[in-house]
Amino acid sequence: MRRELDITTDRIDEAALLQRRELPGDMGAVIYFLGVVRGVEEGRPIAAIEYEVFDLMARRQFDLIFDQVEKRWPVASIRLVHRVGRVAAGEPSLWLETIAPHREAAYAASQFIIAEMKRVVPIWKKPCPAAS
Tens of pLDDT, residue by residue, the chain (132 residues): 999 999 999 999 999 999 999 999 999 999 999 999 999 998 999 999 999 999 999 999 999 999 999 999 999 999 999 999 999 999 999 999 999 999 999 999 999 999 999 999 999 999 999 986
Please tell me the predicted confidence (pLDDT) of residue 106.
98
| 36 contacts: CB under 8 Å, gap ≥ 6 | 90, 91, 92, 93
Gap between the Cα atoms of 78 and 3, Å rounded: 5
Count other C-beta atoms under 10 Å from residue 80's C-beta: 22
pLDDT at 132: 67
Q: According to the model, what pLDDT value does residue 100 have? A: 98
For CA atoms 69, 75, 77, 79, give the dihedral sign. Answer: negative
How long a stretch of residues is the chain? 132
**pLDDT score at 19:** 95
Q: pTM for the full model?
A: 0.95
